[in-house]
Structure 1
Amino acid sequence: MTTRCARCGAVREAETEPSLVLAWVSEREGGDVRWLCPQCARDHVRDIEGKLPSEYW
């Protein structure tokens, strides 16, 4: 199964550096699990921590 960033579409490869795999962020929204790549997570960390709905980002 391929994991993609919900914001930019970046692909998380299974064989990449373990520290890069751990930098991906998961979130649950409406029962679905969405993933954010490290760059998108950094760009939106305040929105994520403030629990703003993703349509506000």
Structure 2
Amino acid sequence: MDDPDPVAVHCARCGRSRAEAAPADALAWAMTHDERGRTWLCPACARTHARDIEGKLPDEYW
């Protein structure tokens, strides 16, 4: 899969542009697929999102 143009990639939660990120941070962006299609999350929002998902898991999972 080709890497998208970093200028066109923005965080779906906070709107931060991937093009403005430091090179190492640009690698940490997470892509998600949902009903809206492909969306991107910056590293900070991706961490928050992961915690949200973990918080919604049933107790039996843990």
TM-score by length of 2: 0.62
**Where does the alignment leave 5 or more consecutive residues of structure 2 unmatched?**
58-62
Measure, in 1, the Cα distance between the counterparts of 2:16 and 2:28.
13
TM-score by length of 1: 0.66
If you compute each CA radius of gyration, which structure gives the higher value, 1 or 2?
2
- The count of aligned residue pairs is 51
Partner of 1:10: 16
Pairwise CA distance, 1:39: 0.8
Name the % identity.
49
What is the aligned counterpart of 1:30 among 22, 25, 35? 35
Pairwise CA distance, 1:32: 0.6
